[in-house]
DNA sequence: CTGAAAGCGCTAACAT
DNA sequence: ATGTTAGCGCTTTCAG
């Protein structure tokens, strides 16, 4: 129980405290034999450097914090994975906190990380983040994932316009003549998807496109309703390709269609648009466009590194300003950068749009999400 | 960038430094109005307590560390989830580190957490852990997950014997007359599974049981080989139920059987035994017995709490023993407890053993792993 | 409630 | 190459 500390090691090894510290932080400065002696002593005593003390004294930490909204979604895990690999590559540790769908917890961990003198923090914010203006000008580099935003800050997100474009291109490739886009473009993201679809289709004036902007919440039930409506049309007015702005919507459409005896993908192909894993679970595995979590995580760390490196000059080295003059508002010196990185999503084609039936749909899923 | 510190808050709020500290740690000791004033100032200045300093000064941390071997396996995520919820319930934070299948990293994070003055640390060790004897008597409560071990320490794992028993009971329920158990019981875990199977079957002397202990690595290829061998037997010597000691093995068996034109589960039912998600991806979704990750995570935190509470008396409060006498070997005072908790696994029945074909196999998967 | 002061264990100068 | 020392920011006394 008695904690072994650096001075114990020094005493036991018969060297000075500073030497042990050097053995830990600048081993190259020691004579190999001294180093060896010290390391042996460290192991013998089971000494563990007190990280808190190191950080307090040293400043830097060489570790990043990542706050995730949940751990049960492949996308977040991909982010964690990409972030971790990139961080290790730069010699940094990555600590992950699970906000568990709770925005208070999210905030809590965010502050915790910033207070731990992490070198940087990343967060995949919960839906509709309510930015503390303070957050923006925090003393620690921070990157927001999976979200676009015009506020100053660093953001990495999937390219929603590309998401739409990709799905439209698939429709074209599958020989669609009449496409119906389903869903209420209530948020920026969805609007961008619609935009992408239109852009891709602009090159194909022969293809008929129709947007059904019904329902308010983009629920599966909304999708089901729209699917029903489509099913009841005379065959020649029926689309041959339906795009759901979200996968939930699309899967509702599939259910309705199948219930009405319309074959998917035989008579109508259906695709979602956001890589939601639930897309596996329906009766017909749903084609979708998944955001590349791994890349987003990687990119996020890269932006963190960038901030760290640019900021390097800011050496606050023992500048003993008179206490009175220390007006904290000097903080505004931070440039109000807005940096947004978009990462291209990728197509996950499954049974709901396939030309011929294939059996390996599940394998594809696993590759993408596990 | 200039970090706001507690003294800044004190000055701005016109109170003393100690009062701000109290506002943070013992708010009940302050007059409500002072508290409010201080909190406002804290927000206004964007003050973030330096966690490193707090820990250094205060000792405790109210947070746990969890080292996971990987983030891409449902089991580990379940652990994380269960651990997180239980930790929050006790008012603790949970920080997760991903060792990424690298035992050096695992060790690194373990030490990191211990050095961070975490209140406790949990680890789901990589296969074949090579216990540092030191680890056992660390200054921080530690719990090992997903592993049995007779070394002193705290362990929470799935009940492997139950795992075998459950699968055997399923076989019985499905009317098996001739069961083949496939796999090399190379490790304790697998041996226990076999034991469980035998125990369950002991009550049914009419059922024929056969163990094929082939291959050395329990690979899918091994399973395939055994599957082939089974397929080639005359129909009356062929088992009607095959249990793979691991899912990988079982899926190899399924492949071989199907390739030889033997229907699964029509002619032969096959089940795995360890809840590996890959069990979804084969041509026939595989029945398996999954370890209850969530429960294991929960239980782990409970053991941590237990250690913390028992250890409470150990107040090392400023006992200024003479430096010379401070022999570190006093550590041995820790009782060499060996505490093992077993958690019962649960059956995930899928197509490979089902009586009638069902379609919701995927839904079951999602429920279990996402 | 204030003010002052003693550390917590370590790092990074600065000497030697 | 090694020893010495001044903090890092905070929590806790303890006496007003």
Comparing CB atoms, the residue among A1, A109, A278 nearest residue B314 is A1
Give strand ranges (E) for chain B: 63-68, 93-98, 120-123, 142-145, 153-158, 178-182, 208-212, 241-244, 269-271, 288-290, 338-343, 346-348
Q: Tell me: pLDDT of B362 over 80.
A: no
**Rounded CA separation B20/B15 (Å):** 7
Nearest CA-CA partner of A220 in A186, A192, A182, A187 = A182
The pLDDT-based confidence of A359 (bands split at 50, 70, 90) is: very low
Q: Lowest mean pLDDT of A84-88, B29-33, B169-173, B252-256, name the range.
A: B29-33
What whole-number distance in Å separates Cα of residue A248 and Cα of residue A245? 9
Q: Do A160-290+346-369 and A63-154+293-311 have the same topology in CATH?
A: yes
Q: How confident is the model at residue A135 (pLDDT cuts 50, 70, 90)?
A: low
Mean pLDDT (chain A, rounded):
81
Rounded distance, CA B72 to CA A369, Å? 8
Interval A150-173: pLDDT, tens = 788 889 999 989 999 999 999 999
Interface touch A281/B366, C-beta < 8 Å: yes
Hey, are the CB atoms on A45 and B2 less than 8 Å from each other?
A: no
C-alpha closest to that of B332 among A46, A9, A42: A46
Mean pLDDT of B195-207: 94
Residue A202 in tokens = 């602009």
Q: CA–CA separation, B346 vs B362, rounded Å?
A: 17
Q: Which residue has the higher pLDDT, A130 or A210?
A: A210
Tell me the Ramachandran region of residue B142: left when phi exceeds 0, alpha when psi lies from -120 to 50, beta otherwise: beta
Contacts of B170 (CB under 8 A, 6+ apart): B271, B287, B347, B349, B353
Higher pLDDT, B146 or A367: B146
What is the predicted pLDDT for the residue at B130? 56
Question: Is residue A124 within 8 Å of A146, Cβ to Cβ?
Answer: yes
Kindly list the distances between the CA atom of residue A201 and the CA atoms of A177, A205, A239, B59, B174, in Å, as whole numbers in the listed order.
11, 7, 15, 63, 54
Q: Is the pLDDT confidence value at B274 over 50?
A: yes
Q: Which residues of B6-32 are buried (b: 16+ CB within 10 A; e: fewer)?
A: bebbbbbbebeeebbbbbbeeeeebee
Residue B331 has pLDDT above 70, yes or no: no
Which residue is nearest nucleotide D7, judged by alpha carbon to C1' distance? A57
Probe site for chain A from B12, B13, B78, B96 (most A CB atoms < 10 A) = B96
| Highest-pLDDT range among A80-84, B140-144, B324-328 | A80-84
* Chain A residues inside the 8 Å CB shell of B84: 71, 98, 100
Identify how many contiguous H helices and E strands chain A contains and give both numbers.
13, 12
Interacting residues of B332 by C-beta distance below 8 A, sequence separation 6+? B137
Using the structure block, give the residue that is written with the tokens 């030309």.
A355
Which distant-in-sequence residues (6+ apart) come within 8 Å of B181 by Cβ? Answer: B194, B197, B209, B210, B211, B212, B242, B243, B245
CA B342 to chain CA centroid, Å, is 12
Taking residue A265's Cβ as centre, other Cβ atoms within 10 Å add up to: 23
Query: Distance (Å) from the C-alpha of residue B368 to the closest C-alpha of chain A?
Result: 11
pLDDT score for A277: 63
Percent over 70 (pLDDT), chain B: 83
A49 closest CB neighbour out of B95, B108, B115: B115
Q: Is pLDDT above 90 for B128?
A: no
More confident residue, B315 or B276: B276
pLDDT in tens, A242-256: 999 988 889 889 989
Query: Does residue B21 lie within 7 Å of nucleic acid chain D, judged by its CB?
Result: yes
Orientation angle between helical segments A32-45 and A17-25, nearest 10 degrees: 100
Over residues A129-155, mean pLDDT: 74
Buried b (16+ CB within 10 A) or exposed e, B234-260: eeeebbbbbbbbbbbbbbbbbbbbbee
Q: Which is higher by pLDDT, B60 or A261?
A: A261
Asked if strand D contacts A318 at the CB level, meaning under 7 A, the answer is yes
Exposed e or buried b per residue across B98-108, where buried means at least 16 C-beta atoms within 10 angstroms of its C-beta:
bbbeeeebbbb
Distances (CA, A) of A368 to A287, A345, A365: 13, 12, 5
**pLDDT at A194 > cutoff 80:** yes
Task: Say yes or no for a CB contact (<8 Å) between A1 and B96.
Answer: no
DSSP run (H or E) holding A211: strand A208-212
Residues of chain B with C-beta less than 8 angstroms from the C-beta of A12: 328
* Residue B39 pLDDT exceeds 80: yes
Q: What number of residues does chain A have?
A: 370
Residue A335 has a pLDDT of 57
> What is the phi/psi pair of residue B155, to 5°?
-135, 140
The domain at B160-290+346-369 falls in which architecture? Answer: 3-Layer(aba) Sandwich (3.40)
Residue B138's pLDDT band, with cuts at 50, 70 and 90, is low
Contacts of A359 in chain B (CB under 8 A): 283
Q: Which of A194, A192, A166 is nearest to A344 (CA)?
A: A166
Kind and range of the H or E element at B247? helix B247-259
Q: What is the dihedral of CA A25, A31, A36, A42, to 10 degrees?
A: -40
**Binning pLDDT at 50, 70 and 90, where does residue A297 land?**
very high
CA distances from B325 to A7, A156, B225 (A): 14, 56, 65
Let me know: does A139 contact A334? Beta carbons within 8 Å: no
Average pLDDT over residues A146-150: 83
For chain B, give every domain's residue range.
6-48, 63-154+293-311, 160-290+346-369
Which residue blocks in chain A are alpha helix, DSSP H?
6-13, 17-25, 32-45, 51-58, 74-89, 103-115, 133-136, 160-173, 188-202, 220-231, 247-259, 293-311, 361-369
> Tens digit of pLDDT for each residue in B152-188?
888 999 998 999 999 999 999 999 999 999 988 877 7
pLDDT at position B150: 79
Q: Do A115 and B51 touch (CB under 8 A)?
A: yes
Highest mean pLDDT range out of A119-128, A261-270, A272-281? A261-270
First to last CA, chain B: 40
Distance CA A3, CA A12 (A): 14
pLDDT given for residue A357 in this prediction = 46
Q: What are phi and psi of A23, to 5 degrees?
A: -55, -35
B contact test, residue of A328, A329, A363 with most B CBs within 10 A:
A328
C-alpha closest to that of A328 among B251, B97, B224, B6: B6
Backbone phi, psi, residue B121, to 5°? -135, 140
Q: Determine the 3-state secondary structure of B159 from DSSP.
A: coil
DSSP B66-111: EEES-SSSHHHHHHHHHHHHHHHHTT-EEEEEE-TT-HHHHHHHHH
From A332's Cα to the closest Cα of chain B, the distance in A is 8
CATH of segment(s) A63-154+293-311 = 3.40.50.2300
Q: Residue A72 and residue B81: Cβ atoms within 8 Å?
A: yes
Q: Is the dihedral of CA A291, A292, A294, A295 positive or negative?
A: negative
Say if the Cβ atoms of B331 and A2 lie within 8 Å: yes
Contact between A307 and A141 under an 8 Å Cβ cutoff? The reply is yes
> CB of A345 within 8 A of CB of A274?
no
Quote the pLDDT of residue B136: 57
- Nearest residue to nucleotide C2 when comparing alpha carbons to its C1'? B16
CA A314 to chain centre: 29
* Residues ≥6 apart with Cβ < 8 Å to A128: none
Please check whether strand C approaches the CB of B30 to within 7 Å.
Answer: yes
Of B77, B98, B363, the CB nearest to A72: B77
- pLDDT (average), residues A209-214: 88
Which has the higher per-residue pLDDT, A351 or A193?
A: A193
**Nearest amino-acid residue to D5, taking CA and C1':** A18
**Residue ranges of the alpha helices (H) in B260-334?**
293-311
Q: In this structure, what token pair is assigned to residue B10?
A: 């004190």
Concatenated DSSP letters of A293-320: HHHHHHHHHHHHHHHHHHHTT----S--
Q: For residue B123, name the pLDDT band (cuts at 50, 70, 90).
A: very high
Beta carbons of B3 and A115 less than 8 Å apart: no
Q: Are A218 and A249 in contact (CB under 8 A)?
A: yes
What dotted CATH number matches A6-48? 1.10.260.40
Q: 């910033």: which residue's tokens?
A: A114
User: Is there a cis peptide before residue A265, judged by omega within 30 degrees of 0?
Assistant: yes
Token couple for B67: 């080292």
Longest dimension (CA), chain B: 91
Cβ–Cβ below 8 Å for B277 and A362: no
Q: Tens of pLDDT along B94-117?
A: 999 999 989 889 989 988 898 887
CA distances from B241 to A204, B27, B192 (A): 56, 64, 20
pLDDT band at residue A180 using 50, 70 and 90 as cut-offs: very high
Average pLDDT rounded to a whole number, residues B1-12 = 81
Residue A299 confidence class, pLDDT cut points 50, 70, 90? very high
Q: Is the pLDDT of residue A56 over 50?
A: yes
CB contact under 8 A, A323 and B11: yes
Q: How far is the CA of A53 from the C1' of D2 (A)?
A: 22
pLDDT band at B310; cut points 50, 70, 90: confident
- Nearest-CA distance from A209 to chain B in Å? 33
> Nearest Cα to B112, choosing from A52, A140, A10?
A52
Give the model confidence (pLDDT) of A90-104 as tens digits: 989 999 999 998 988
* Least Cα separation, residue A183 to chain B (angstroms): 25
Residues 59-88 of A with CB under 7 A from strand C: 59-60
Residues B259 and B216: their CA atoms lie apart, in Å, by 23
Q: Which nucleotides of D are covered by protein (CB under 7 A)?
A: 1-14
């Amino acid at each position: 129980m008695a904690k072994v500390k650096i001075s114990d090691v020094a005493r036991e090894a018969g060297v000075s405290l500073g030497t042990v510290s050097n053995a830990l932080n600048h081993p190259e400065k020691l004579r190999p034999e001294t180093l060896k002696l010290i390391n042996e002593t460290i192991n013998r005593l089971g000494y563990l450097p007190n990280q808190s003390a190191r950080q307090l004294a040293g400043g830097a930490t060489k570790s990043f914090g990542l706050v995730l909204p949940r751990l049960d979604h492949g996308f977040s895990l991909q982010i964690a994975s990409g972030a971790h690999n990139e961080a290790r590559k730069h010699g940094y540790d990555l600590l992950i906190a699970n906000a568990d769908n709770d925005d208070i917890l999210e905030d809590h961990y965010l502050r915790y990380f910033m207070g731990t003198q992490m070198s940087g923090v990343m967060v995949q914010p919960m839906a509709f983040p309510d930015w503390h203006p303070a957050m923006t000008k925090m003393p620690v580099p921070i990157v927001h994932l999976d979200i676009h935003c015009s506020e100053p800050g660093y953001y990495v997100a999937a390219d929603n316009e590309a998401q739409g474009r990709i799905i439209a291109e698939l429709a074209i490739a599958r020989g669609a003549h009449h496409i119906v886009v389903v869903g209420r473009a209530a948020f920026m993201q969805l609007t961008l998807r619609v935009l992408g679809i239109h852009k891709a289709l602009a090159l194909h004036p022969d293809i008929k496109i129709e947007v059904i902007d019904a329902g308010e919440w983009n629920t599966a039930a909304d999708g089901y309703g729209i699917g029903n409506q489509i099913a009841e049309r005379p065959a020649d007015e029926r689309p041959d390709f339906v795009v759901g702005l979200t996968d939930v919507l699309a899967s509702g459409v599939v259910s309705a269609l199948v219930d009405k005896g319309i074959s998917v993908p035989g008579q109508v192909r259906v695709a979602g648009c956001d890589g939601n894993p639930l897309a596996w679970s329906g009766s017909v595995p749903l084609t979708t466009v998944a955001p590349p979590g791994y890349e987003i995580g990687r990119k996020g760390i890269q932006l963190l590194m960038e901030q760290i490196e640019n900021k390097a000059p800011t050496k606050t080295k023992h500048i003993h300003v008179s206490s009175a003059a220390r007006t904290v508002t000097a903080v505004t010196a931070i440039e109000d950068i807005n940096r947004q990185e978009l990462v291209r999503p990728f197509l996950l084609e499954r049974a709901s749009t396939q030309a011929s039936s294939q059996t390996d749909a599940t394998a594809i899923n696993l590759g993408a999400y596990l």
